[in-house]
Amino acid sequence: MRAPRFWSLAPDQPAARLLAPLGHLYGARAAARMDRPGARAALPVICLGNLTMGGAGKTPAALALARMLMERGHRPAFLSRGYGGRLQGPVAVDPARHGAAEVGDEPLLLARLAATVVSRDRPAGAALCAGLGADAILMDDGLQNPSLVKDLAFAVVDGGAGIGNGLTFPAGPLRAPLHRQWRHIHGLILVGAGAPGEAVAREALARGLPVHRATIEADGQDFTGRRWLAFAGIGRPEKFFATLREIGADPVATHAFPDHHAYRPGELEGLAREADRLGAELVTTEKDRVRLPPAFAARALPVRLRLADEAALWAEVERAIARPAPP
């Protein structure tokens, strides 16, 4: 879905006030669900999730944590619901035979780095992760899913967006009331700068939670000084377009689509025609690229999450993965 503009405005906007009663009902149900007890997996579970609907940098954060674990000799496996895919799972993702329509776009990105399991049933997915030889589970999303006990849970927050108007869906972007989500969170990963994110960070610190600051960095060496038609179907497409400008690329036109958008042939043909008319090349995000036909001529801009203090975050992860295995 595409986030409505009023989500990023003051909470007294007419649309937000109109939808507030539905938000109270939705939030109460979501919070009660989060409080349910979960099953204990055979492996340590580290969750990276969003407080809100839409993108915050969760998948780059999951990839960064996986690299940290692998560099230290561990064998992490990603566990995902597989949003946008039709397979219920549990299934081990194989990019050579699975597409985004089957397992979702994010699992395809994750599977390039480490073993990845898609499963609507998270405990069953955790069992498959163990069967694949993993020694730790990185749960991509699932902060509001109570079915697995989380040894460590990070909320990933975009500095420029924060929590929007602070209201619960559909009146705002929160997946559950913020005060009810804090009890399930062990730390915050703040991605990028911005007053909205700093407000969330201050509340986290006031509650005694660590705040880990990070930035998204693009490898733009091959993109500078060239004309691009940029398109993206992610939570905040404008952030991708800004990244291109920051690295010296020249987006002569931009097109924003809803998050996880399934591109239709006519849309792709239109993008290709416009790029040709403008004398530009097509560029998109890595997440969008896996949803496109392999033969479609669009480049993906590679990005990585960089932590300001990796040692501080690793200390938390190390404590979490050191917990004894259940009997």
Residue 204, marked binder: no
Helix-, strand-, coil-residue percentages of the chain, each rounded to 5: 35, 25, 40
Closest CA to 251 of 270, 268, 226, 214: 226
User: According to the annotation, is 34 in a ligand binding site?
Assistant: no
Tell me: is residue 150 an annotated ligand-binding position. no
- Ligand-binding annotation for 54, yes or no, is yes
- Quote the CA–CA distance of 64 and 78 in Å, as a whole number: 12
CB 43 within 8 A of CB 129: yes
Cβ proximity of 284 and 260 under 8 Å:
no
Question: Is 239 annotated among the ligand-binding residues?
Answer: no
Torsion on CA atoms 108, 112, 114, 115, rounded to nearest 10: 40
Say if residue 166 carries a ligand binding annotation.
no
Beta bridge mates, 35: none
Q: Which residues of 43-73 are buried (b: 16+ CB within 10 A; e: fewer)?
A: bbbbbbbbbbbbbbbbbbbbbbbbebbeeee
Residue 96 CB partners (closer than 8 Å, separation 6+):
none
57 is in an annotated binding site: yes
Backbone conformation region of residue 228, classed left if phi is above 0, alpha if psi is from -120 to 50, else beta: beta
Q: Does residue 52 have a known ligand-binding role?
A: yes
Residue (of 143, 115, 140) closest to 128 by Cα position:
115
Write the CB contacts of 55 (distance below 8 Å, at least 6 apart in sequence): 158, 234, 235, 236, 239, 259
Which residues are 139's β-sheet partners?
A: 47, 79
Q: How far apart are CA 197 and CA 195, in angstroms?
A: 5
Strands 136-140 and 45-50: parallel
Q: Which residues are annotated as a binding site?
A: 52-59
Q: Which residues are annotated as a binding site for ATP?
A: 52-59
